[in-house]
Every structure is written in C-alpha cells, then in structure tokens.
Amino acid sequence: MNDLDLIKEFRADVREPDLRQLLATRARLMRTLEETAPRRRPARTQRRWVIATVGAGAGLALAVTLPGVLPEGSPGGAEPAAATALQRAALVATDRPAERMPKAGEYVYTKTKSVRTSFYVPGDGLRNLSFTLRNTREDWVAPDGSGRITEATGKIGFPSSADRAAWLAAGSPDLGQDVHGSAATERFGAGELSFPDLSELPTDPSELQEIIDDGRLPGGNGYHDETFQFVGELLNESYGRPALRAALFQVAARFPGVEYLGEVKDPAGRPGAAVAYTHNGYREELIYDPHTSVLLASKQVLTDPDKIGLEVGPDTAPRTILSGPGDPGTVLDSTVYLKSGVVDSTRETP
Amino acid sequence: MLQTATDATAIAASDHDPRQFGLIFDRHFANIHRYLHRRVGLDLADDLASETFVVAFRRRADFDAAQGSARPWLFGIATNLVRHHRRTERRKLGAYARTGVDPVAVDAAFDSADDRLQADVAKPILAKALAGLNRKDRDVLLLHAWAELTYPEIARALAIPTGTVRSRLNRARRRLREPLAAIAQVNDTSTDLGGSHDE
C-alpha cells in the first residue's frame, strides 16, 4: 500500500446523506436558485381552452382546461414533507405486486367520475357565471386500441344561486351542453383509442422526467403533458410496472414547491393522502391511498384567477384574452378513479 | 431514443430554466458532500455542499462548456469554500491526532477489532500530518486523493497551472513521507501480532 492509498482510505467510511435528507436539500436548494434566477422563460405554446362560442352576442362559454406549460420560472423540488410522503409512496409502490397486463383480446377497464366547472362570460357588463357538469365514464381499451366508452353527463348545475340568477339574467343562454344531461356508448375499432405503451418508459426518475418535460410520451396527445396531473394519469395507466409507479412518485416530488396536504378524503369519501402543486393560478391535487400507492382522485382548484387568462377562440377572431372569471377556491375539475382492472370483454367489469 | 443532457447543456439550459440545474445537483451532490464531509465534518459539509451549488448556479456563465463534466469545476468551488473554514479543518484533524477519536467520523463503523486497533494507532498520525500541511498543498493532495481529479482537472478547478499542481502534490507527499512510513511500520507490527487485515 503506497502513501496515496493510505490517504485515500482516510475517512473513507463517512456516512452518505440519506435519501430523505438529500431530497430535502434538493428542494431547499432549488427554491434558493429560483430566488437567485431572473424570472424569465421563453414563450411556449399554451394549449389552453376548449371553447364554445355561444349565441349571437358576446356570450362565450369557456370550459377551462389546464395549461400545458411548465411553471413560469420555478425550479424543481418538493417541500420536505411532500418529498417524504412521495418517497414513501414510491417505496410502497415498489413493494406492491405487479398488476396483470392485458393480453390480446383483453381490455383494461376504468371507471371515473368527474365534476368540471366551466365559465360563461356574457359580456355587455353582465356578471360572469360558473356552471358545473358531472360526468361518469367507463372505458374498455384493448392493447390494439379497440374498445368501448360509455359516458353519462348529468344535468348542468350551478355552484351558487347567484350563478343561476346570472344565467337567467343573461337570458338562459345555451351553455354548449345538453342542459338535461346525456348518455352515450361508442364502440371503437383497432387503433381508434389510445393504449399508451408504457413498457419502454425508464424507471430512473431523471430520465422519466426528461421524457415528460419534452412531451416524448408514447400516445401523448400533447394536451396534458408537463403537468402534475399528467403524472397522475400515468400513475393510473402504469399497469404492471411497480418500478414505473415508484419513479412517477419520485418525479412528482421534483415539481417545484409540491406540498403535502396530509390525510384527506377523496371526493368519493375514501381516505387518502394528498399532495398539491400550484402553478399558473391553479392548484393541482393528487389523492392517493398511502397503503397501496393507488391513485384515488385528482383535483384542480383555481387559486389566482388573474393569472389564468382565458383565451377565446379558435373560432372567434381576433383571439381575445379574458382574465379571471372565477373565484379563488373554485374546483375546476375533480376526477375520482373508481375502479380499474383487466377484463375479457367490453361487457364485463372487474 | 433517450437523450441524456450533458452537464454543459444542463448548465446552459438553466440560464432560462433554473430547474435544469437540478440535473447538476443529482449528478454531483453526493460526491461533493462526501468530499466536504471528509474535510470539515458533517454539519459544515451540509451547509458548504449546498453553498457550492448556489455559488455554481450564480456563476454558471463562467462554466467552460468545453470541459464537459462540471465535476472539477464544482470541486474547485467546494475547495474554495473550505478555505474559509481551514481552522475548523485543522482543529478537527488536531483533535483526532490528540484523542484518537475522529470528530468527523465518530459514528463510522469499523470492520473488526483489528481495524480499530490499526485505525487507533495509524490514523491519528496521518491526521496530524495532514493538519501540518500547507493549506494549498492540502487542497491539491485531497482533490487528487479524495476527489480523484487528474492533474489537469485540479489545475482547472483551482485555476492554477498544471506544473503548480504537480509541484504542490510532490511537496505534500514529501512532507507526508515520514509519518506515513511510521504508519506502515505500525501496520506491519499489528500484522505480526496476528492481525488478520488483508492488504
């Protein structure tokens, strides 16, 4: 052993910082960098709104969807409590047995219920109003992209009597949806539905995050990409891959300022744990079962209406930007994942 | 299909998106932390390792993309931060030399009683020798031995000529020769006494 070897061995047995500590340090550091960095980002395409132009006047119904953009100038890293919770969820996910992957001729069945809030901007100095749509949906999707979707939409609702009064005052305009609700079943041939093949996705969180950030996901429709909710959707679709689920929780921990909301009940009343990511005027919440790491529900809550800016179009010209029709705290979307599993036919449920 | 960003591209991208700097953290933090832990102890290492990345981020425009890896650059920053704490570093080495207990690694596990015996006798001698080195020589020696940087990398890290790296390293090793020879003797003795430590 030469002299350098002796020096190399000196204090070679110091302890490594543990993962939890590392995540907390990372989160703190990224916050510091955010404060250090100038707040500027290159402009990105913002795919924002599903728009329906209503009536002959200035009236517009605006169904708000989430912006497909990265947070403005915010670097990554969860709050320590969230980092701990998500790290634990990742460990739980790793320990779970792999679910069965669907074979040819089998279907992945999912059942979701959602409530979505949209806005109507009557113009002419009249009060903006909110209305809600309830939707229950069952999907059967085979690996070849064939399947069946049944969808039932409930009656249009109003979050408050003031919203209903505003709708009446505006002359009960058509809100672009069947006021009395609707139900439909549709069948799809091979290749008509997206069955994302997630089997090739990396389980290294950094690599996975890069792919999500770049929108390079299989079957990605360029709509929800880069959002926290999209991580949630992938969690829901990562059949049979515990390691991928674990990596997704770790990716979630990298979103800047992700908070842990603690133990909550999901909109269906089931107990879970919630983490939230606030950006661009929204808070996106993911509620999962901490014992199984299964995603129970997701929610989007309006936090800063002035930040969201509603883009009107594409069938109105010129495009108009309206800001903040809703009130802070408005739940824009709440989706409950009720059931999922592999079944033999589009008539069966697990 | 997967593309992995190099340190240089991540640093360049962090110019308009600070999140990208997370990649630099993910790649290098553990090594920087470990190096600092060995030099100044855990508590200070926690602070200095974070500070290293804050300083690096602030000075990211200075990073020479031609270097490829940010590793030497980060170790250079970390080493400069240690300079403000060289009294702490020397004090801890001195305490180890006097007491035989390393304040930097009090909870480090020893494999066997033989290792402990050897550590108890040999390591304090080395601690004393390291404490006695000129600060600049110690920087170069430890960047070489602990950070495993090459001569040109150390030169870039500390912004000194490669020739200077070589002369400082030679001087450090010369000054350590005597105490290290004493350690070798101790090791031989403990082996003769029936120590099972394999070389």
Note the pLDDT tens digit of each residue in A6-16: 899 899 888 77
What residues of chain A lie within 8 A of the CB of B47, using their CB? Answer: none
The whole model's pTM is what?
A: 0.51
- Exposure string (b/e) for A105-116, b if CB count within 10 Å is 16 or more? ebbbbbbbbbbb
**A10 contacts chain B (CB < 8 A):** yes
Q: Which two tokens stand for residue A45?
A: 């395409």
Q: Do A14 and B30 touch (CB under 8 A)?
A: no
User: Touching check for A1 and chain B: CB below 8 Å?
Assistant: yes
When pLDDT is cut at 50, 70 and 90, the band that residue A76 belongs to is low
Answer whether A256 sits within 8 Å of B37, measured CB to CB. no
Question: Six-digit token pair at A90?
Answer: 């990742």
| Cβ–Cβ below 8 Å for B58 and A34 | no
pLDDT tens-digit series, residues B10-37: 888 888 778 788 888 888 998 999 999 9
How many angstroms separate the CA of residue A8 from the nearest CA in chain B?
A: 5
Instruction: Note whether A207 contacts B: Cβ–Cβ < 8 A.
Output: yes
φ, ψ for residue A182, nearest 5 deg: -155, 165
For the stretch A168-226, pLDDT in tens is 888 887 776 666 777 888 888 887 777 767 777 888 888 888 777 766 665 444 433 34
Closest CB to A14 among B26, B58, B108: B108
Q: What is the mean pLDDT of residues B114-132?
A: 74
How far apart, in Å, do the first and last CA atoms of chain A sit? 65
* For chain A, percent of residues with pLDDT exceeding 90: 11
Which tokens in the block code for residue A69? 């953009």
**DSSP labels for A174-217?**
--SS-TT-EEEEEEE-TTSS-----TT---SHHHHHHHHHTT--
Task: Write the residue in B17, B57, B173 that is nearest to A3 by C-beta.
Answer: B173
Which residue in A3, A11, A37 is closest to B18 by CB distance? A37
Q: Is the ipTM of this complex over 0.90?
A: no
Contact between B130 and B110 (Cβ < 8 Å): no
CA distance A34 to A290: 30
Q: Which of B18, B38, B180 sits opposite A33 (nearest CB)?
A: B18
| Residue in A34, A210, A216 closest to B18 by CB | A34
Question: In the structure encoding, which two tokens stand for residue A88, read together?
Answer: 């634990």
Determine contact, residues A275/A264, Cβ cutoff 8 Å: no
Residue A266 is predicted with a pLDDT of 93
Confidence of residue B79 (pLDDT cuts 50, 70, 90): very high
Query: Are the Cβ atoms of B30 and A202 closer than 8 angstroms?
Result: no
Q: Is A202 on the interface with B (CB under 8 A)?
A: yes
Whether A45 and chain B come into contact, CB under 8 Å, resolves to no
Mutate to test the interface with B, among A29, A204, A208, A279 (most CBs of B within 10 A): A29
Residue B182 and residue B190 in contact, taking contact as beta carbons nearer than 8 Å = no
Q: Look at phi and psi of residue B145 and say left if phi exceeds 0, alpha if psi is from -120 to 50, else beta.
A: alpha
Q: Å from B197 to nearest chain A CA?
A: 13
**CA-to-CA distance for A204 and B111, rounded, in angstroms?**
33
Terminal-to-terminal C-alpha distance of chain B: 45
